Structure 1
Amino acid sequence: MTARTQALGAYGERAAVRHLEDSGLRILARNWRCRAGELDIVALDPLPDGAVLAVCEVKTRTEGGPQSPSEAIDETKASRLASLAERWLTEEWSGSPPPGGLRIDLLSVVHGRRGPARVTHLRGAVA
Structure 2
Amino acid sequence: MRAKDALGRRGEDLAAGYLEALGMRVVDRNWRCPDGEIDIVALDGDALVIAEVKTRKSLAYGHPFEAVGPDKLARLHRLASAWCRDHELRMPLRRVDVIAVLDDGTGGPAIEHLKGVG
TM-score w.r.t. structure 1 length?
A: 0.87
Provide the residue aligned with 1:59 in structure 2. Answer: 54
| Alignment partners' CA distance in 2, 1:113 and 1:66 | 17
Query: Which structure 2 segments of 5+ residues have no match?
Result: none
Query: Which structure 1 segments of 5+ residues have no match?
Result: none
SS of 1:115's partner is: coil
Give the 4+ runs in structure 1 shifted more than 3 A: none
Question: By how many angstroms is 1:113 displaced?
Answer: 4.3
1:38-73 CA distances to partner (integer Å, 9 max, x unpaired)?
A: 000000012xxxx11100000001124221110001
SS of 2:71's partner is: helix
Q: Does 1:97 align with 2:91?
A: yes
| Alignment partners' CA distance in 2, 1:33 and 1:116 | 30
User: Which has the higher mean CA deviation after the structures are superposed, 23-32 or 57-66?
Assistant: 57-66
| Alignment partners' CA distance in 1, 2:48 and 2:84 | 9
1:54 aligned partner, one-letter code: V
| Alignment partners' CA distance in 2, 1:104 and 1:82 | 7
| Alignment partners' CA distance in 2, 1:83 and 1:27 | 19
Q: Does 1:110 align with 2:102?
A: yes
Counterparts of 1:64-79 in structure 2, within 5 Å, are 64-79=59-74
Q: How many residues were matched structurally?
A: 118
**RMSD, aligned α-carbons:** 1.4
| Alignment partners' CA distance in 2, 1:93 and 1:28 | 14
Question: By how many angstroms is 1:122 displaced?
Answer: 0.8
| Alignment partners' CA distance in 2, 1:108 and 1:92 | 27
User: Which has the higher mean CA deviation after the structures are superposed, 79-88 or 62-71?
Assistant: 62-71
| Alignment partners' CA distance in 1, 2:88 and 2:48 | 10
Q: Does 1:83 align with 2:78?
A: yes
| Alignment partners' CA distance in 2, 1:67 and 1:93 | 38
SS of 1:14's partner is: helix
